[in-house]
Amino acid sequence: MFVLKFSKKLLLLIVVATTFLGVSALAVYAEDIIYYTKSGDTLFKLSTRFNVPVNTIKQANNLRSDILNLNQRLYVPGAPGFWNYTVRPGDTFYLIGQRFGVSVGDMQVANNYWSAIYPGQIIVIPPAARTPAPVPPPASAPGGQVYTVRSGDTLYLISQRFGVTIGNLRSANNLWTDNLMIGQQLVIPAAPQKPKPPTGSISIRDDEVDLLARLVTAESAGEPYEGQVAVAASILNRMRSPNYPHSVREIIYQVVDGRYYQFSPVLDGRINQPATATAFRAVQDALAGWDPSGGAIGFYNPQKTTNRWVASQPVTTVIGNHVFFRE
């Protein structure tokens, strides 16, 4: 019979009753973790990922070879800064990351898992990433103001918020890329337009949540979870834009010039198929403010589209089979 020998470092289970985001959590805060192997895992990769010697993992689990089975339960002793968390109803990688100060990407890498999580699943929480040191602002901001970058910000969203162009933002801050860091300070140049209200979380009616989830299902079923969130976020970005209708229903069912459907599932009827549970979670993450699309207002599959206009628009990111773009 296989018996795990737990290290003395393993702390007792702690029931953490937290009201953050309205979800309770059951977690093991310890340097000793339980991990379930995924496709592609090897002892060497686990050793590198958790900073624990291969032999230590083998001895802790009575392994006589380096061969691992899929979904094999392993005890990893002395993994510094890592701990286990049991997923509860309503949890997503994004919400858990917000709660414990770790990024979605870091959690996905730690777990070698890029799909939607489910209640009862035991995942690994990596050490909280250190917030990058704030970048000093330019010496002065004549005619403008200084803005501190927050989580979820992109140059596009900031430009929309304050009514300035991305080009002017880059010039005012000597930026050569679109990459931003939390805590970074930017000069917002003066603009004649009135600043737009901040973007972030948004509320829509329950029937529109269902409609948006059905669109996400029709457009991105089989895509990475991050890509499904990005599809939902791009619709919400259209709601914030003055160039599009201001409700989910009007955006999804919009027909330009009486013949150009904005979304093919409306044309072929796939929009009427039930939404998946994963799509609903993706919509909730987008409503909570997660925007993996980088402020996109649309997306397309380059293997399927023949529309020259969308292919000519500035690309914000590529996730799975979808290219996301802004105008």
pLDDT in tens, 234-265: 999 999 888 888 899 999 998 877 777 889 89
Of 198, 233, 252, the last residue of a domain is 198
Is the same domain home to 313 and 210?
yes
Pairwise pLDDT comparison (167 vs 75), residue with the higher score: 75
Separation of first and last alpha carbons in the chain = 62
Other beta carbons less than 10 A from residue 191's beta carbon: 15
Task: Print the domain residue range for 159.
Answer: 131-198
Of 153-157, 177-181, 191-195, 227-231, give the lowest mean pLDDT range. Answer: 191-195
Is the same domain home to 140 and 115?
no
Is the same domain home to 173 and 98?
no
Structure tokens at 121: 């699943």
Query: How far is residue 69's CA from residue 42's CA, in Å, rounded to a whole number?
Result: 10
Let me know if residue 44 belongs to a domain. Answer: yes
Do 234 and 212 contact (CB within 8 A), yes or no?
no
DSSP class of residue 59 equals H
Pairwise pLDDT comparison (183 vs 216), residue with the higher score: 216
Q: What is the percent of the chain where pLDDT is above 70?
A: 81
Whichever domain contains 283, its CATH number is 1.10.10.2520
Among candidate residues 160, 315, 169, the one with its CA nearest the CA of residue 241: 160
Structure tokens at 190: 């003066």
When divided into structural domains, the chain yields a total of: 3
pLDDT surpasses 50 at 199: no
Sign of the Cα pseudo-torsion (288, 13, 107, 149, in order): positive
Of 125, 159, 176, the last residue of a domain is 125
**Amino acid residing at 268:** D
Pairwise pLDDT comparison (194 vs 284), residue with the higher score: 284
Of 182, 198, 214, the last residue of a domain is 198
DSSP class of residue 193 equals S
Three-state DSSP state, 276: coil
Is the same domain home to 160 and 179?
yes
Do 172 and 155 contact (CB within 8 A), yes or no?
no
- b/e string for 67-92 if b means 16 or more Cβ within 10 A? ebeeeeebbbbbbeebbbbebbeebb
Query: How far is residue 15's CA from residue 25's CA, in Å, rounded to a whole number?
Result: 7
φ, ψ of residue 325 in degrees (nearest 5): -140, 160
Is the same domain home to 268 and 321?
yes
Beta strands in the chain (DSSP E): 14-16, 25-28, 33-36, 73-76, 83-86, 122-125, 145-148, 185-188, 255-256, 260-261, 298-300, 315-319, 322-325
Do 32 and 76 contact (CB within 8 A), yes or no?
yes
Query: How far is residue 37's CA from residue 199's CA, in Å, rounded to a whole number?
Result: 39
Is the same domain home to 44 and 110?
yes
φ, ψ of residue 181 in degrees (nearest 5): -120, 140
- For 1-40, write each residue's pLDDT tens digit: 333 444 434 333 333 333 333 333 334 334 689 999 998 8
Is the same domain home to 227 and 316?
yes
Residue range 260-275: mean pLDDT, rounded: 88
* Cα radius of gyration rounded to whole Å, the chain: 23
Let me know if residue 314 belongs to a domain. Answer: yes
220 band by pLDDT with thresholds 50, 70 and 90: very high
- b/e string for 101-128 if b means 16 or more Cβ within 10 A? ebbbebbbebbbbbebbeeeebbbbbee
- Residue 304: Cβ-neighbour burial (10 angstroms; 0-12, 13-18, 19+): exposed
177 band by pLDDT with thresholds 50, 70 and 90: low
Give me the pLDDT at residue 34, please.
Answer: 92
* pTM for this model (two decimals): 0.45
Q: What is the percent of the chain where pLDDT is above 90?
A: 27
Of 118-132, 134-148, 275-289, give the lowest mean pLDDT range. Answer: 134-148
Give me the pLDDT at residue 201, please.
Answer: 57
Give me the pLDDT at residue 307, please.
Answer: 78
Q: How far is CA 242 from the centre of its chain?
A: 25
